Structure formats: C-alpha cells, structure tokens
Structure 1
Amino acid sequence: MGREVAAGIKRYDLPYDVIGHIDDEKSGANILGKITDHVPTAAARYITCFGDGTARNRIRSMLASRGAQFTSITSPTVQSVTPTADLINCLILGSCSLSNDTQIGSDVLIQTLAVLGHDVVLGDGITISAHAFVGGYAVLEDLCTVHPHAVVLPKVRIGKGAVVGAGSVVIKDVAPYTTVFGSPAKVIAYGKPHD
C-alpha cells in the first residue's frame, strides 16, 4: 500500500516528498531498510500503510518510541465536512464521503468510495474498505474491519476486533472479536484478541 499512497501523493501534487519506505520483508529501490532497525529522521513525517489496524498501531508505537513523528493523508477527492487535519497516522483515500461530526481515532484506514454517515465514531486501528457504508450514529470500536461493499446500518455498534465480511448488511450490534457475514449479517466465527 505504500507505493499506492506514494503514487497518490504524486498524482494529486500533495505537499509531501516520499523519500522511501521501511519494510522488514522487501528490499530494493526506495526501501530504506527494516522497520526493526530504522532510526527515525527528525524532519520526516511517517505514516504506516498496512491493511491491518493492529499492525498499523504496533508499528506506529514502535517508531514513535524512537522519536518518529506521524502525519495523516486525506486525498483531495474526499468529500468531508469532518475536519481531518489533526488526525494521527490515518489514510483517507479517494472519493470517500465523511459526513458531519464523525470522530476518527488514530491509525485508521478508510479506502476509496467508503461513505460514513453523521455522528459516526471510529476507534483506533479501524479499517473501512472500498465501497463500504457506515450509517449515522454507528460506533466502530478499536481494531475492527469492515470489508468491501458492506453496510453497517445506523446506530449499530461493531465490537472491538470484530470483522464484517464483504457485502454484508449489519442490522444489529456485533460482539467483540466476532466475524459476521451475509444479509442480514450472522455470526460465522468467534475469534480471539489480536496477538
């Protein structure tokens, strides 16, 4: 996802210069080294680009403990009446719609064409995939994931670490660390907290 974000920065002429990526698994051009060995640069601003909120949070905490400072990126094509300038380590990608009074935690990823209704509360480490819809007054607790084309109806609470399957329609609250799927969404798995 880092290359996708870098391409978007270039495409929309955003005021950032991408100097490279840190990665424990890949090497090559633009890879500055491993995350575990990286010494943050004081003038640099970092953003973690993982699809998993637990990983985004863990890596941000690790780098922040070494002095790294973080930014957030909101695509200029996002339609938002919710301020996004002060978010920490969040990516809000192309053509999303964020209604008024949405609260957004740290380490949040909102992908292209997602729609969030008014007064939605997003905890830390949330992932909202492309084309997902979250209705007004919904609450998504820390580390939950809403997969593509899923619908979370208004006033529904998605518990910590829960997963909403692609294309699902959630009409009632989802317990923490539970996976739901279908229309209407039904429990298909009970999980455990992320390690």
Structure 2
Amino acid sequence: MMSLDIVVVGCGGHGREIATIVRAVNGAAAQAPPWRLAGFVDDDPSETNRKRLQAFGVPHLGPVSVLGELPPTTHVVLGIGDPRVRQRIDRRVRPFGLPSPVLVHPDATVGPDLVSAEGLVVFAGARITTNVTAGRHVHVNQNATVAHDCVLGDFVSVHPMGTVSGDCALETGSLVGAGAVVLPGLRIGAGATVGAGACVVRDVPPDTIVKGVPAR
C-alpha cells in the first residue's frame, strides 16, 4: 500500500506536535507507513517557526490557499490549538474538499466503540474509554482523559492532563484547560473555556470562562 500525503495546517508548536503523531503512527505501522508528511501550510509563519520547521525537516508549502493545488487524495489535519481559530480555519479549508484523517498516537488508548467524525486527533498518553462520541476536529491532548458516555462536539479541545468525567457533554468549540477536571454528568456550553487547574462542579453556560476550585 502506498503512503498517502498529509499536510498540517499551522506551523506553530501545536502543528508540529501533530506532525510528531503522524511520525509515530508511521513508526508503529506493521507494513508500509500510512502517511507521507508532505509539509505545512500557514499564511504567515513567524521567522522563528520557519526555522523550527527547517530543523524539523518538513517544508512550509505556502499559504492555506495552496491546498487548492494539491491532489484530491491529500489529507489535511488542522494543527491549530485554539478551538475558535480551528473552526475559522476549517471554514477556509473545507471548500477544497480534501479529507481529514483520524490520528491516534500509538501511546494513546481509545475505546473500541468510539464514534468520531473526521479530524479527531488523540495525543500521546490520552485515554478515551467507552461509548464516547467526538465531533469534527476534536483534539484530546497529551495525558488527557475522557471517560465513559461523553459527547464532545465539533472543535472541542481537552488540554494536557485535563479530565472529563463520565456522561459529560462538551458543546461545539468548548475548551477544557490543562489539568482541569469536569465532574460527572455536566455540560460545558458552546464556546466556553474551563481554565487550567479548575474543578467544574456545575454546568458552564455557553461563551463563559470559568476558573478556580470550584470553578466560577
């Protein structure tokens, strides 16, 4: 089987971390590597990020519009950490009609009954258990946990060491910060942000920022 080209949107640290997942998936493949990391696209990468890409050994292909010139078999992954920005970038990328893969780091654990839309990225050490549903371009970062019966809407991010307890609903574009905990059965509204280290003990309304223990 031939390797498929994959392009990362976003030259920053989050994008490069996702590129390491691609490399890890290739390294764990029993046969031919599934992916050829073709490069990154970014409208205006900083000089620092250009140098880091050079050291990383993967080229910057040009602005996002370059995607329109690539073969239709090229896959695209959104290497954008901020859910709101990721959603905006997706609106620009979708008209090109290029598929987005589900990427799961070999050192992550994902339940066999996970249901996910395109673009899910699961980082090293993450744990997703049973009967979890994930929407488009959800990112579950390093060592985060998503427990049983959770529903993660499109563009949700769970940052490193974040814990989402069982039977929770995270609506579109919501974010659980690093080391934060969402207690069982709660709902995080669309566009809401749970600050790093917070403990959520009640539902969070849409477009709200909560922090602290308990989160307010």
Work out which structure has the larger RCO, using CA pairs closer than 8 Å and 6 or more positions apart in sequence: 2
TM-score between the two structures when normalised by the length of structure 1? 0.88
* Equivalent in 12, 23, 26 of residue 10 of structure 1: 23
Q: Does 1:121 align with 2:151?
A: yes
CA RMSD of aligned residues (A): 1.8
Deviation at 1:82, TM superposition (A): 4.3
Deviation at 1:126, TM superposition (A): 0.3
Q: Point out where structure 1 has 5 or more consecutive residues left out of the alignment.
A: 187-195
Task: State the Cα deviation string for residues 30-86 of structure 1 (Å, max 9, x = none).
Answer: 111101353142121111110112222332332221222211211111112144585
Which structure 2 residues correspond to residues 147-166 of structure 1 after superposition, within 5 A?
A: 147-166=177-196
Tell me the residue number matched to 2:61: 32
TM-score between the two structures when normalised by the length of structure 2? 0.80
Task: Decide which structure has greater helix share.
Answer: 2
The percent of aligned pairs where both chains have the same amino acid is: 29
1:54 and 1:76, CA in 2 relative to 1: closer, same or farther beyond 3 A? same
Alignment partners' CA distance in 2, 1:8 and 1:16: 11
For 2:65, give the aligned amino acid: T
Residue pair 1:80, 1:97 contacting (<8 A) in 2 also: yes
Secondary structure of 2:209's aligned partner: strand
Alignment partners' CA distance in 2, 1:78 and 1:87: 18
Alignment partners' CA distance in 2, 1:33 and 1:161: 30
Q: Point out where structure 2 has 5 or more consecutive residues left out of the alignment.
A: 1-13
Tell me the residue number matched to 1:96: 126
1:98 and 1:22, CA in 2 relative to 1: closer, same or farther beyond 3 A? same
Task: State the Cα deviation string for residues 125-173 of structure 1 (Å, max 9, x = none).
Answer: 1010000100100110000111000000000110010000000000000
Comparing 63-72 with 116-125, which one deviates more in the overlay?
A: 63-72
Alignment partners' CA distance in 2, 1:43 and 1:140: 32
